[in-house]
Amino acid sequence: MQVLAMNGAIPPGPSRATVLIVDDDTGNLGILGNLLQPQHDVLAAPSGERALQISTGTPKPDLILLDVLMPHLDGYAVLARLRQNPATLDIPVIFVTGLDSTEDEEKGLALGAVDYIAKPYRSSIVLARVRTQLELKRARDRLRNQNAYLEAEVARRMQDTLLVQDVTINALAELAETRDNETGNHIRRTQQYVRILAQRLQTHPRFAGFLTDKVVELMAKSAPLHDIGKVGIPDQILLKPGKLNEEEWAIMKTHSMLGALSIERALRNADRRLDFLDMAMQIARFHHEKWDGNGYPEGLKENDIPIPARLMALADVFDALVTRRVYKEAIPFYMAKEIIVAERGRHFDPDVVDVFLENFDDFVTVAEKYRESDGE
């Protein structure tokens, strides 16, 4: 009989299942070992304690035949510990016992045993039930491996999709910026400003219900498209180095609606709603609205202005103030801060301004990190 010694192991063959038999009667171990060994690699344990040690070792059992009546730890206690340990939770257990009442069988099955074999052993019954449980385990393992593969593949493809999405968004946003006197760094800075404001406002009573982690990420993803409508503004207006006249300014202000309409058309052509484009449409359309109702394009006031647009409004103005443009020089950070404060309750949501002030140093850090080079 090629049964595993009680404190040793025989390496299993490449296609043979490993079965652990547990019984305090060495005679029973020998009987089961002789019966199973021709088809399986067999591990043997004379006690519940030793069975728990072997079950977490190598090779790991594919199936356990577990006696119920044992000293110290009986079979019920061993099974309970096996089910509590993540490493042994999924090992199927067949109770092998001289207890043959219906109540004993029901108790074992209720505790998580997969089957119940009564003594004295009948070889054909033992082999058939062992074979059935091993086949079921192999099927579960194949399904688990297949599901793990599919989940990993879905996650990989989702990451690829998100990457393509992000690249496309940034490419479109930078295309819009190339027609303006700004650079891609404007996109990066305003995106980070919006993220800072959104994250810090997550615990604010007025914003907590809206600014979930998902919404914050969508907002940061959508922010680069805030000025996508500038692609529809004529060059002589968009690139004019001096101040715009009244007619030119009226045309310039249409960029917010142009951007929102272009995103809306893209959404109509899609077969489902895309949350980040819905948010991008809000930001593009309303980020020039003002808290006091004197903004454009619709003159929305206070809480009628969507939250993403309110945050972008402050981020966009701050960046415009501290960045050099062809029609103006950059102003120092402290002066930009004073201007933002002066517009609290007029241009900007007061609570958004307060969070800006609390995190002003973070804004400066972002501005310094993505500062324009001399050639831009």
Residue with the two structure tokens 């959404």: 267
Give the pair of three-digit tokens for residue 335.
């002066």
pTM: predicted TM-score of the whole model, two decimal places: 0.58
Give the pair of three-digit tokens for residue 74.
């009986």
Enter the DSSP assignment of 259. Answer: H
Query: Taking 80 as the threshold, does the pLDDT of residue 71 lie above it?
Result: yes
As a whole number of angstroms, the distance between CA 289 and CA 301 comes to 8
What is the pLDDT, as a whole number, of residue 177? Answer: 63
Reported as a single tens digit per residue, the pLDDT across 179-223 is 555 556 888 899 999 999 999 999 999 999 999 999 999 899 888
Domains of the chain listed by start with CATH number: 18-148 (3.40.50.2300), 179-369 (1.10.3210.10)
Total residues belonging to the chain: 376
Q: How crowded is the C-beta side of 331, counted as CA atoms within 13 Å?
A: 14
Q: According to DSSP H, which parts of the chain are helical?
A: 26-36, 48-55, 75-84, 102-110, 123-178, 184-200, 213-222, 235-238, 246-252, 255-269, 275-286, 307-322, 333-342, 350-358, 360-369
Query: Taking 50 as the threshold, does the pLDDT of residue 104 lie above it?
Result: yes
Give the pair of three-digit tokens for residue 249.
């300014």
Q: What is the mean pLDDT of residues 222-240?
A: 86
What is the pLDDT, as a whole number, of residue 7? Answer: 42
* Range scoring the smallest mean pLDDT among 40-49, 98-107, 183-192: 98-107
Residue 233 or residue 299, greater confidence:
299
Q: What is the mean pLDDT of residues 285-299?
A: 96
What is the pLDDT, as a whole number, of residue 2? Answer: 40
